[in-house]
Every structure is written in structure tokens, then in C-alpha cells.
Chains A and B, each alone.
Chain A
């Protein structure tokens, strides 16, 4: 059954299903031989002596997966990793979104569930002050919740994932990039970073879509590297705006738990990446050569970024351990589509 992904602000039913699905995955604990898996089982220390090992939920597995993948340099010694700062950025996150979508569909008993997307470029057209109170940040019990409380460690006070709901952060990447066990509410700092005080605008998205090629040498995060992937990821400057831009800027603008490598802790992570994936789908649908680059003949230093390379995953594809390949993500129209690519 093909899912249809819709705008989270314009489709309240999709938003409610997303919130309910995330809540259910957060409550579903990972078990092995009848025992719940904890952070200690994965060798993850507590943030301090007072923090005991934390039970891991299905949702937490996505947080762990993202952090772990980000810590795999490709090649060793490079800033490029197995999911970011290189060509695989879009295919790897496409797989991640599909697997969250599939697991939400399972817990909701709704095979047709489609992830919603957050059109942050539309919110970027709002006045700066209005961006922090846009409809996405609904603080009702079925909403995404709003900004963190400045007087309470930036803890999100409201919404379905706010303090006091049962939604707790259990994995956190500290200022050294180390993964630690924690037990605390979700945190946000909407628009408070001086690096990204406002969201990207429509013209910035348009600039990304105008890129002729998918990616180009040196296949990295240098601001001079052209190509759709590097621009939508957000590394180059755009007219009048210094980097970070687009996808990166959204992470920085939301702040709090969206800042470190454990950014999937905030469910907004998936709304952001769903919009980025939609942009890739729109770019792929444009006339001309919309093929993936680099080719399989690229040198070994681009391992995990070439079409026939395996995507790093903690979710198994089958009992034999067959990996998903980068090229498996090029056309997934049998799995989901978007309500619109405009």
C-alpha cells in the first residue's frame, strides 16, 4: 500500500497520527529474550553517577542509529560521514524516514500511514517574531509543542512531547560528541541561536532546486561544492545569507535537542527531513538528467556514498542481514508519494 505524505500544518489528521505514533514507539521497549535492553547493554554510560541505565524504546533506536552513523567517517579522518556531508545524505535519511513511517504504521494499525512534512520555507516568509509561534508549535495535548522554557533548562513545557507527558529523552550527545544516558524532558530554543535567528525562505529552497547536478567533487560540505545535495543540506552561503542554510539552518533554529548528533530526539527532526526528502523528490521530477552522483566507479574513499554501497543501518532488512543499498533509495514511489511537489 502506497502512503501519501502531507503538510503537517494543513492536515490535522496526519499530525495527530504522527503524534500518536511517536508516542507509541516511545512507549514500546526493545526486548531480547524477554529482557528489556538498556543503555548499559550498549555500553553507554550515564551522564552522572545518579543516572541509572535507561530502558531503550523503539523510538530511541532511531536516535542511537543517527548518532552512530554520524560517527562513522567516510573515509577515516574525513569530516564526511556515513549519513552527512556527502552524497549519501539524502538516500540515508530517506531510509530512516521510511522505517519510522513503517513502524508508526504498525503501532497504529494503519498500513496507509504517511509521515507529514513541515514546510519551513513557508514559515520562513513570516516575520521573525511570528516564526516562533507559527501553527506548527501547537501546545495543545495533541500538538508538537512549543519553545523551551528559558527558566527551566529550555524544557518544552507543553504539547504531546512536553515535560510531564511521559516523553523523556534517554540518549544525548554531549559537547564532546559522546553518547550518554540521560532522563529528562525534551528541550528547544526556537530562533535563539545567533547563528540562525530565522528560518530559511522560499527563495533559498528555489536556489537549491535550481542546481543542475545531484552532487559534484569534492563530494563534501565545502561551501564551494556545487550540487543539489550540498545546497539542500545547507553548507554553502546563499544570496544575502551566511551558512548554515536550509536543512542545517532548521536544526540550528530549533536548537536544544535538535542541535547535537542525537537530534532525532525531537520529533520535529522527522518533519524537517520529510520536507528535505520532498525537495529531493521535486528535484528528481524536474526535466533533464536527475541521476545520482558519484557513480559506482568512484574511488574507494567514497565508500558508503556510491550507488552499490551499503547504507549503515541498525534495522535489519532480513534474517540474512542483506543491506539496503544507496541505489535502493533512488525511486521509492511504490512505498510513498507526496500530496504535492510544488
Chain B
């Protein structure tokens, strides 16, 4: 059994400092439009398998953007819907249209103040 003192974490005087430390440790990021490369990896009989796929997805002629990953099973996942997996990118786009109907087809926004990170795939 672990003795845990939660009193410091329950003191509002410490919240702002914690937020700013977290920001410094893990800066935010922003997703852009254009091609998305995913990296799918697996191990089989001592071999390392790497499959790189480039997606260029458009809705009404506008690039969808975002962050996709492809799992070992071939399932597609997207950052915007973290509890979903999809059998195909088409299924994923349909659900995105259902969940985020506003502005779909407008392309990605231009947000400042956040930084990029790698778009990789799931092992």
C-alpha cells in the first residue's frame, strides 16, 4: 500500500505553477493540412516490418489535415477521436463529418501559439 499525500495537489495556490511547468515540459502542437505520412510497424519471425503510407484526404476538395495512425491490424485512428478505431479511412472521415459538422470542408485552421510534432503510426 502506498502512502499518498494529496494535500499539495489539492491547494489552488499551486495550480498555475503546475500548468506552466507542464507547458514547458510538453509544448503543445498544431496539426496542418496536406499529406499525412503514417508508419506502421510489426515484428514477424525475427524481422522488423515497416510500412509507410501517405494519405491525402480531401472533403469537398479541401484537405482534411489532422493526425492519423495505422495500427498493426490495419485499423485507422485519428487524434480528434481518440476512442475510435476505423476499418478504413473512409469510415473515419464519415465519423469526423458526423461529430464535427461545423466547417467540414474548409481545410485546417491557422492557429498560432502551438508547435508541431511528428506524425507517426502505431506499432
Contacts and interface: CB of A to CB of B under 8 A. Distances in A.
A319 B2 CA distance: 20
A180 B67 CA distance: 16
Contacts of A42: 19, 23
B75 A223 contact: yes
Contacts of B82: 70, 84, 260-261, 263
B12 A28 contact: yes
Interface in B1-57: 1-10, 12, 14-19, 21-23, 25-26, 28-31, 39, 43
Contact of B98 (A76, A193, A243, A247): A193
Interface string A166-194: 00000001111111100000000000011
Nearest to B29: A71
Nearest to A61: B15
Interface of A: 28, 30-32, 37, 42-45, 56, 58, 61, 64-65, 68, 70-73, 76-80, 84-85, 98-99, 102-103, 105-106, 173-180, 193-195, 218, 220-224, 234-235, 243-244, 247-249, 251-252, 255, 259-261, 263, 312-319, 321, 327-335
A180 B95 contact: no
B61 interface: no
Interface residues of B, dominant DSSP? loop
Interface residues of A, dominant DSSP? loop
Given A178-B30, A259-B83, A333-B1, A30 B114 contact: no
Given A37-B19, A65-B22, A176 B72 contact: no
A220 B71 CA distance: 9
Nearest to B3: A334
B27 to A, nearest CB: 9
Contacts of A80: 122-123
Nearest to B120: A77
Contacts of B123: 78-80, 218, 220, 222
B4 A71 contact: no
Contacts of A65: 22
Contact of A176 (B8, B26, B66, B98): B66
Contact of B8 (A64, A73, A174, A316): A316
Nearest to A314: B22
Contacts of A316: 8-9, 14, 17-18, 21
Given A223-B75, A243-B85, A248-B83, 5 more contacts: A73-B118, A177-B67, A221-B71, A261-B79, A334-B3
Contact of A335 (B4, B79, B81, B96): B4
B19 A61 contact: yes
Interface string B86-118: 000000000110111000100011011110011
